[in-house]
Structure 1
């Protein structure tokens, strides 16, 4: 009897440990702000109770002669050995945007049911914060009113699309304020999303299988993602 319980413990303990790890949430927070001409975009992802963290930031975005000039900062941290950091500057023009769209369409067309996989993954995502506040002015009362309506339509459409794809567990906070005194555009966006680590790992394995079945295989994905 004692040996039987011993073998039962050997089997159950790893299973319980895997189940506990699968239930751990992966938390992602996206923030976008534009204030007095300064644009900032950041994404923070953490899991395993903060043991694994990743931060991606665009602290500088400005329009230049060749298009949008972007400075990217990426950092991965953990209390153990993992610590990487990179600083990249890019120029994103119309040709670069067209190239990215073409690459995305290539992956979508060649990968088996990629949209279905993404939709099933998004159905597991829970939104615990959705805050979006915008102040807009066009320097003219009529144009400001039209711009305000367009901005409000954009925000409500984005929220409606999100609620169809994900689980919205938070009370959305949205606001669009017109400024009839001057031409300006300021916005502040903050979103927190969570997914169970087990669901994310399962989706990753399913994607890997589809990548291997794709014409060009994993190398095609590597070439496109590294080029991006």
Structure 2
């Protein structure tokens, strides 16, 4: 009788350990896609974890500019634990709001212990699986179009160089810049796929929470800053 009971306990413990291991190594997969052609814009973000059991999608089909303000129409869908929620909203983003967000980040950086090193350590666990970025540019003049093409190439390669120092590139980035000498035009399409292990994300979250608690004012000060933002 006791042997059978111990056997069931051992099996349950092994099952829990196996389940925890699977959860730890399961990837959080992030897909991003941006397309801009003339005045047409389209932005998509898709995040999936636990083999698709938890997911979040954000779609911004339109971006409208009004002087120093641009308006976003957002469509967000989240699912998990067998439940799905959908939400749509319009947001206006202006210079003042951008500066307020920047100021909030500055306050958080100053408040939280070792935040830059935490960011660098967390990014080192991210794997970049795909990076495709194609651009077509023309300014109506051959010489200026060639200069714009070179500038865009330089910007893209510099960005890849910086990213390679922060995250793990597991695939060769695909970059294209196509000059259009016949007319003034601009279009670009970017897509990427990155992933991080669920366990690494949990550990990073725990370290951030610990650093926030140790900071001056603790979590309460964090909440005050984020609520004002």
Verify same fold: TM over 0.5.
Answer: yes
Q: Which residue of 2 aligns with 1:135?
A: 136
- CA shift at 1:139, angstroms? 1.4
Q: Which residue of 1 aligns with 2:156?
A: 155
Of residues 53, 57, 60 in structure 2, which corresponds to 1:58? 60
Verify: 1:49 aligned to 2:44, yes or no: no
Q: Which residue of 1 aligns with 2:25?
A: 23
Measure, in 2, the Cα distance between the counterparts of 1:41 and 1:161: 23
Counterpart contact for 1:66–1:91, Cα < 8 Å: no
Q: Specify the SS of the correspondent of 1:53.
A: strand
Structure 1 residue runs of 5 or longer lacking an equivalent are none
Counterpart contact for 1:33–1:40, Cα < 8 Å: yes
Measure, in 2, the Cα distance between the counterparts of 1:40 and 1:220: 37
Q: Specify the SS of the correspondent of 2:103.
A: helix
Structure 2 residue runs of 5 or longer lacking an equivalent are none
Q: Specify the SS of the correspondent of 1:76.
A: strand
Measure, in 2, the Cα distance between the counterparts of 1:58 and 1:85: 14
Count of residue pairs brought into register by the alignment:
227
- CA shift at 1:219, angstroms? 3.9
Per the normalisation by structure 1, the TM-score is 0.91
Paired residues for 1:173-192 under 5 Å: 173-192=174-193
Per the normalisation by structure 2, the TM-score is 0.91
1:34-90 CA distance string (max 9 Å, x none): 013211111100011211110012211121034222222221024612x22222222
Q: Which residue of 2 aligns with 1:101?
A: 102
Measure, in 1, the Cα distance between the counterparts of 2:43 and 2:127: 21
Q: Specify the SS of the correspondent of 2:97.
A: helix
